[in-house]
Structure 1
Amino acid sequence: MAYIDLNSDVGESFGNWTMGDDAAVLTSVSSANIACGFHAGDPSTIAQTCREAVASGVTIGAHVAYRDLAGFGRRFLDCSPTELADDVLYQIGALEAIARAAGGTVAYVKPHGALYNTIVTHEVHAQAVVDAVGAFGGDLPLLLLPGSVALTAAERAGLRGVAEAFADRAYNPDGTLVSRREAGAVLHDESEVAANMVRLATEGVIIARDGSILNTSAESICLHGDTAGAVSMAAAVRRELEAAGVGIRSFV
């Protein structure tokens, strides 16, 4: 039987600001990218999300970001590699402490937003992220975009690089994600998204927005928890994958 991981960005509420329905999303996914407080999430939100992930049997990952709470981590920060590595290490450590208190542990790392997209090509920041994960120890896998320099840097450092695909995002012909500043960057049609992910899991291809075919060996599929209709979309993707004979389980 073929298997694939479903991951989602969760724990992104902050104070009185609620983002997504984490508990509901966690019923459909196998891995949870939990915000670590730098782009979103406060300690109580993070702790509650860890408890919900443990209760649901979902693997916990550190969703690390640039220190950009005001911009939701979607702005590039021209920080030094030392500062970035320290920030990433701090985030992993903070989440590990909270996860342990909830009966879980951090099992992988996934960069968020601008950091994720930057280290597709930015070798210095990519190496800083890899250095931070290495400094934390435990040989944590890194969840990254296929073809990114960060994926190469992780593997060069002896860390496992895990390639992922995005269910609800449009792709450029070069395999990068369409910028959120452009119309059509986020997909909302459940049937289209589910069909795309079944094609990915069974044929290893994604259709770019211009109709070109992108070959990929993604081990995980990301379903954003903060988009409209996220709960229903996550359930639909899981349902259609299982109907096509693809099992859902964490890559860790």
Structure 2
Amino acid sequence: MASGPEHNGKPFARIALIASDTKRAQEACEALAAQGEFVPLADADVAVVLGGDGFMLQTLHAMLDSGHIVPAYGMNLGTVGFLMNRYDKRGALTARLARARHWTIAPLRVEAITQSGEVHHFCAINELSILRETRQTAKIEVTVGDRVRIRELVCDGVLVATPAGSTAYNLSANGPILPLDSKLLALTPISPFRPRRWRGAILPDRMKIGLKVLDPVKRPVAAVADQKELRDIAEVRLEIANDTALTLLFDPGQSLEERIVAEQFITD
């Protein structure tokens, strides 16, 4: 789930300045720190995140884990920077934040059960992937809603992507790009062997998805949620977490929605 861009226009009183460990991000952090006083993330009402998409995801997960969730404004000092704004140390940071457009997204809520019976709960902002751990292909039963849709999917893996994550691993696996406000999920196989012609599904995000690993001892599978990995999975259950909103801030004309649209017209 994603809501459209909103312009707040109100200044943020307490700003956290967070940077990745890279040299570029640390130098940028030092330059921006001269603009004023900043507070720890736990005390902030907005976070300025310096780094790449991976560091932004890491920061958003830290918010989810702590329960203190505030809008995040990223400046790209990484590679792709799909979730980030252009880095510019010129101009007042407070003015950029006041002009920024707000995009609200919802992550996936995941329940993962291991072969030993342990139950783990976590969120996935971009996608949840289950991937074979060995040379043996994975065999997975796919349930959508209350019905088994594929009794045995033989593949390297399968993933469920949110609209915000549909241009990441999902796109590389030939999955569809989803508009941010589409209220859809992409269910995409990774190198499917059987049924060979199945290319995945686009699903309403209100539907629950279950992925059960068949023959998990001989064909072990790992679950990966953004940057979190859990091995020897027996089953995962997923649903959209509409009650857990995350807000990203973008400069006017540089919204995540526009980037998702533009990605569909790249031809090189």
- More helix as a share of residues: 1
TM over 0.5: no
TM-score by length of 1: 0.25
TM-score by length of 2: 0.24
Rg larger for: 2
- More strand as a share of residues: 2
